[in-house]
Structure 1
Amino acid sequence: MKQQNDVKHISKIISYWLRHKPQEAGIELDEFGWASLPQVLGALANRGLTMTVEELHTLNHATDKVRWEIDQANQKIRATHGHSVSVVLLEKPTIPPAVLYHGTAVPTVISILEEGLWPMRRQFVHLSSTPDMALQVGRRHGKAVLFEIATAALVQEGWLFYHTSDNVWLTTAVPAHYLTLIS
């Protein structure tokens, strides 16, 4: 496998292509967000970044947040969450834990308290199963703060949740009155 900084760089490139800009790599996504695995590996090779399918599997499981789903039998790959391009979710709604978490940076706190959580440039709001994971996400944009989401109450109100990987949950939005700022 590549050096650690190369691995992180490759992970970010693949995620970017599969979530936001497949055309920049000459990759085509089907309506469900699947891309040809050979196309993705070829796009990497065109940029001087060679990987095997085995290395791609290892890279995908190198963190506690799985970013892609690989269908080796059909030679396909897709991002599990975070899309700004329109894709059809195959996952069925799932009942989430009674509480989920959302980490964000300090400058967004006031707007979230007033307006709730919205997907912004993505299709869904991303929530975490653990406070630590949510804070890790929030730190990507500066000093992190943590919101607790009363998901049990949202489910009772008819909101749908999708479980995409071990720690990531999706929903369309979270109104402000279901949020509690906890740190």
Structure 2
Amino acid sequence: MNAAKAKKRSKFLSLLLRHRPELLDLKLEDGGWTDTQALIEKINNYKKGDILTFQELEYIVSTNDKQRFAFNTDKTKIRANQGHSTNVEMNYISTTPPPVLYHGTATKNIDSILKNGILKGNRQYVHLSADTETAEKVGARHGKPFIFKIETFKMQQAGVKFYQAENGVWLTDYVSSEFLKK
């Protein structure tokens, strides 16, 4: 499978497993899991003539640069690791983050974030990065990037919970502007 086709399929998987499972009548269980074989069959019925094989799905999961997807141990179930806007219980366990995390955004959002904090928007959680490189890439997707430093130690002292997805993305419900540093 060439890189362009893998990227296109990865985006379609994100749409289905993170945002619109109803598009193919997929059922997401707790943890965001769905049956792998049913997913393949529904995609193949939807995209007639553009068949997805299990091997191609394995390739997409294993080579996705953001590690957006995961199989269960016997690969009978698949899910998106984080980033859901659909209502699914991911069963994340609260954990202690590093003392500082980062949030990448576009410069056009700075004033709003300083006023309102970092909101989760249509997703279940605010996404934070453990390193500035990742935060910069995230911010660059929407314009000239800007990185906020998040004082997670202070947030935890204030009772805020943090979770970490399988792919290393840090998650929380909201980041108040009082915990932000430029």
Cα RMSD, aligned residues only: 1.6
- Give the C-alpha shift of residue 51 in structure 1: 3.5
Q: Partners of 1:69 and 1:18 in 2: how far apart?
A: 11
- What amino acid does structure 1 have at the position aligned with 2:28? L
2:141 corresponds to which residue? Answer: 140
1:63 Cα shift?
Answer: 4.1
Unaligned segments of structure 1, at least 5 residues: none
Question: How far 1:33 moved relative to its partner?
Answer: 1.7
The answer (yes or no) to whether the contact 1:14–1:40 under 8 Å persists in 2 is no
Instruction: State the one-letter code of the partner of 1:8.
Output: K
- Tell whether the 8 Å contact from 1:64 to 1:167 is kept in structure 2 after alignment: no
- Quick one: percent identity of the two aligned structures? 37
Cα distance per residue 1:133-179 (max 9 Å; x no partner): 11111111111111110111111111111110343010000000101
Q: Deviations over 1:18-43 (max 9, x none)?
A: 11101112312124321111122123
What's the secondary structure of 1:100's corresponding residue? strand
How far is the alpha carbon of 1:3 from its aligned partner? Answer: 1.1
- CA–CA distance in structure 1, aligned partners of residues 169 and 99 of structure 2: 14
What is the CA–CA distance in structure 2 between the aligned matches of 1:14 and 1:116, rounded to whole Å?
30
Matched residue, 1:116: 117
In the TM superposition, 1:31-180 aligns within 5 A as 31-46=30-45, 47=47, 48-73=49-74, 75-180=76-181
Superposed displacement of residue 80, structure 1: 1.0
Corresponding position: 1:14 with 2:8: no
SS in 1 for 2:127: strand
TM-score, reference length from structure 2: 0.91
Q: Distance in 1 between matches of 2:74 and 2:87?
A: 25
TM-score, normalising length from structure 1? 0.90
Please list the CA deviations of residues 94-127 of structure 1 after superposition, one character each: whole Å capped at 9, or x if unmatched: 1011111111112111100111111000110000
Give the aligned length.
180
Question: CA separation in 1, counterparts of 2:155 and 2:77?
Answer: 34
- Name the SS of the counterpart of 2:133 in structure 1: helix
Residue 45 of structure 1 and its aligned partner are, at CA, apart by: 2.1
Farther off after superposition, 123-132 or 48-57: 48-57
